[in-house]
Amino acid sequence: MSRALLLAGAAPFALLAAPVLAQEAPAPATAEAESVSASDSESAGGNAIIVTARRRQENVQTVPLAISVVEAAKLEAQGTYNIARLTQIQPTLQFYSQNPRNTFINIRGIGAPFGLTNDGFEQGVGIYIDDVYYNRIASATLDFVDVEQIETLRGPQGTLYGKNTTAGAINITTRPPSFDFEGKAEISLGNLNFKQGKASISGPLSDKLAARISVTTTSRRGTLFDTYSNTWIQSQDNIGLRGSLLWKPTSSLNVTLSGDWNLQDPICCAFAYGGYGPTQRATNRQYPALISYFPGYRVPSTNPYDRLTDADAALSARNEHGGVSAKAVWDIDPDNTLTSITAWRYWDWSPANDRDYTGLAVYTKVNNPTKQNQYTQEFRFNHKGKGYDFVVGLFGFHQDIRTSGIQQTGPAASKWLLNPTSALSNNPAVLNNLVAINDIRLNNTSLAAYAKLNWDITDSFTVSPGFRVNYDKKDGLYNSVVTGTASDGTRQVVSAVPGSPYYNDPWTAAQRGIQASQFFEPKFSAWNVSYDVNLRYKVARDINVYATYARSFKTGGINLNGVPADANGAPIQAAATIKPEKVDHFEIGFKSQFWDRRATFNVTGFWTNIKNFQANVSNGQFGTVRGYLANADKVRTRGVEADFSIRPSDRFSAYVNGAFTDAKYVKFCDAPPPPELSGGTSTGIVATGKCSYTGTIAAPGQVGNSPPFVDASGQVLPGVSKWAFAWGAEVNQPAKVFGEEGQFYIGYDASYRSRWSSNPTPSIYTWVNGYSIQNFRGGFRTETLDAFLWVRNAFDRNYIDLLLAGTGGNTGLIAAQVGDPRTFGGTIRLKF
């Protein structure tokens, strides 16, 4: 049987990046990094999976890092065509998305503040595509185009990567242009009117110039039915184009020019009714009473798995992004390489949302269109000497973000948002057409120098220290101008400043309780230093152990969603900036191959402490219950990760990997109250310090007094399951069909995650139950053809992607984002 078919049969096994695979290492587009050592190549039988996670080519089993590798064959076999689906085969990777802008990626429970989108903070998980850093997660929600390999690095990255990231990095490599003509095409059809097409072609334009162009398009009917518009929403409507030119004027110089354009334009995004949980608000202001004030209104279903909603506002999630890059690699001599990576990227986000999660005209618009331009430049120098090698680099980053938002209330707002004991609540005109026009700006500059040394003390023992110095500067502007109608019919600015025009007007006072104008210009700048040291010891030819300590920083930020105001209505400037996170990370690991290198077993243990963790808070020191981004005192995440893979013959392969993650707030005494402790008055409650207050708090869910903040110390971080697993297997049988030699095969892949908290502070109402997803596929493949049927979520398991407390003042409404139902279809893939 041909090598290509053996390679394809190993696809599930490739998930764990086991070197025993009968798989060719991807041919490097350049000679940028050092070659894999002879001993490493031999240990893998010449079939090592090669990674560049440390800016050098290495056998993944010898890399002293916690790293998972998924190659193209696995991505294609499982239908993993975006980062959201990648989480099903990466247990410690968490992905949550209300829409592309409100998207969060965490590793080991850390990375981005849960439940709050704010342009002024940085991501803790870096995304790199062909060495280009993508600053906004929304600009990386593209469908994968011609991907060759995805490496997920867990733990702080910064002494080898351009942008400093404290949780990890996702390093995506696409296929480079080829000087041999090649191409492939793929089409998939499935239920829910799923249609997906992919095509790629590459070849020489001359003896020194090669090109590649790729396209992908995906469409699918929505999975949530909107009874208001009689339309299926949460659809998929994506297209992506990517092109690249490789110029090799000499044997020592390679220049790659790349460009891409991506557009997602679905009918999206809304939530289903997820439940009701009593808060401490007065009973006549909670969800059951509020909907009773609108005769004839009924929620479409109280079962989220009926997949019904009634979004009465316009919906849109148009997400356009793209860019160009130039990568030049100069092999000065066999031991020295200089690399330059220059890139520009843009992001254009045009949303329309229904943020009251009902079919009532409470909020008619809550939209924040955003435009971003990002510029990056990186220089990297690699040197290999006798018994050592090192890389040094310079990185520059600049980003401009402009958001022009609007929030507008409708005729149902007065009844929904004002106290029913007030006569104003019976007058729709009081809050109807209360409009906030938001001008939000960010200029963000980051400069860094970094270095990493690998020093072979002996043939078996390597010490790898690293160092990074970073400078960050952020200049922001937040200008929200709120206008409403006064009791005399005059349109006027709703100001929080006493003595301003119409300040004492009863309608204006009511409007000010909902939203008031605010202006401030936050600034942040700071230097910080990161460093790490990694020890690797080769116990035997196929056994390596390692240990790592890293001191890392996540740069400070600025609040660009509004901040608390003082008694005079002025923004509290101390709340406008966010301190940097300080990270101490410890990790030990074991990597092994055995059974004649037909199996691998890897284990990693980690412990990460974070001071000044950036989180959503209600800081009592400012005498307010308004949530905004600030710092929790200390967070800790620790755990164990393991992966096992086996391939006893060319006919069968299997894998299992899993993670135990214990992520908690160690000290967080000014956390926002969960829904069951929110919504009441604060009579008799007095803050006596940042972490303490006096007064009587009502029991959870009972009407009464609400604390301005709660002590969440010891509580779990949101979004992370304590247990997560992925496993699968594939069996194949050689056969001939119409004279073509090939394989019939059946594959199975599954994942499980235990329950997790879906609220910034754990709530009894927002725990998402654990679930398992089972996927099957089977078909026939040759060297040039792969035709198969697939079914995902085969047992049609009902599960929740996200729960959140509905907006509109602690009414007790819980909104739910429901996971995909069972989907099935077929795929035909051709290579030539």
Are 221 and 208 spatial neighbours (Cβ–Cβ below 8 Å)? no
CA distances from 544 to 301, 320, 462, 537, 686 (A): 56, 44, 11, 6, 57
Q: What is the dihedral of CA 289, 291, 295, 300, to 10 degrees?
A: -140
pLDDT of residue 535: 97
Cβ atoms of residues 471 and 481 within 8 Å: no
SS3 label, residue 751: strand
pLDDT, position 828: 97
Take residue 766 and report the two structure tokens written for it: 């927002």
Query: For residues 476 and 523, is the Cβ–Cβ distance under 8 A?
Result: yes
User: Residue 48's pLDDT is what?
Assistant: 60
pLDDT score, position 702: 72
Q: What does R_g of the chain's alpha carbons equal in angstroms?
A: 28
What pLDDT was estimated at residue 809? Answer: 61
Q: Give me the helices (H) in 30-94, please.
A: 38-43, 72-78, 83-86
Residue 574 CA to residue 710 CA, distance in Å, equals: 20
Per the CB < 8 A criterion, the answer to whether 816 and 272 are in contact is: yes
C-alpha dihedral (693, 699, 700, 705), degrees to nearest 10: -50
- If you search the block for the tokens 């927002």, which residue do you land on? 766
Provide φ and ψ at 117, rounded to 5°: -95, 130
Contact 392, 380 (CB under 8 A): yes
- One-letter amino acid at 566 equals D
Q: Which two tokens stand for residue 556?
A: 């400070």
Tokens encoding 183: 């191409």
Number of residues assigned to the chain: 832
Q: Give the pair of three-digit tokens for residue 727.
A: 């496993």
Q: Residue 708's pLDDT is what?
A: 74
Cα of 641 vs its chain's centroid, Å: 20
Q: State the pLDDT at residue 41.
A: 45
How far is C-alpha 761 from the geometric centre of its chain's CA atoms?
20
Average pLDDT for consecutive 10-residue bins of the chain (832 residues)?
Answer: 48 39 34 44 50 74 87 82 82 85 88 77 89 81 84 89 88 94 97 97 97 96 97 95 97 97 94 94 92 94 97 94 97 96 96 92 93 96 95 96 94 94 96 96 96 96 96 96 96 91 94 92 95 96 96 92 84 90 96 93 97 74 53 95 95 96 92 85 63 71 75 92 96 92 96 94 94 96 96 97 80 94 97 92
pLDDT at 115: 67
CA gap 662, 524 in Å, rounded: 32
pLDDT reported for residue 43: 40
Give the whole-angstrom CA distance, residue 59 versus residue 69: 11
CA angle 363, 368, 373 (to 5 degrees): 175
Task: Using alpha carbons, select from 715, 717, 723 the residue that is nearest to residue 769.
Answer: 723
Three-state SS sequence of 435-448 = EEEEEEEEEEEEEE
pTM of the predicted model, to two decimals?
0.91
Q: For 56, which DSSP code?
A: S
pLDDT of res. 53: 67
Tell me the residue type at 658: G
d(CA 625, CA 563): 11
List C-alpha distances in Å: 137 to 106, 125, 126, 616, 639.
Answer: 11, 9, 9, 19, 25
**pLDDT at site 123:** 86
Q: Which neighbouring-strand residues pair with 348?
A: 320, 371
* Terminal-to-terminal C-alpha distance of the chain: 19
CA 712 to chain centre: 24
Please report which helix (H) or strand (E) contains residue 316, including its range.
Answer: strand 316-333
Taking the CB of residue 535, how many other CB atoms lie within 10 A of it?
A: 17
Residue 524 half-sphere exposure toward CB, CA atoms < 13 A: 28
User: What is the model's pLDDT at position 569?
Assistant: 83
The pLDDT assigned to 139 comes to 65
User: How far out from the chain centre does Cα 75 lie?
Assistant: 18
Per-residue burial over 748-787, b = 16 or more CB atoms within 10 Å of its CB, e = otherwise: bbbbbbbebbbbbbbbebbbbeebebbbbbbbbbbbeebe
User: What is the pLDDT, as a whole number, of residue 568?
Assistant: 83
Q: Longest Cα pair distance anywhere in the chain, in angstroms?
A: 89
Copy the structure tokens of residue 639.
Answer: 């755990």
Q: How far apart are CA 138 and CA 454, in angstroms?
A: 35
Question: CA nearest 409: which of 432, 430, 425?
Answer: 432
Report whether 362 contacts 412 (CB < 8 A): yes
Residue 16: helix, strand or coil by DSSP? helix
Q: Are strands 224-226 and 308-309 parallel, antiparallel or unpaired?
A: parallel
d(CA 627, CA 563): 8
Q: Is 568 helix (H, G, I), strand (E, B) or coil?
A: coil
ω into residue 269 within 30 of 0, thus cis? yes
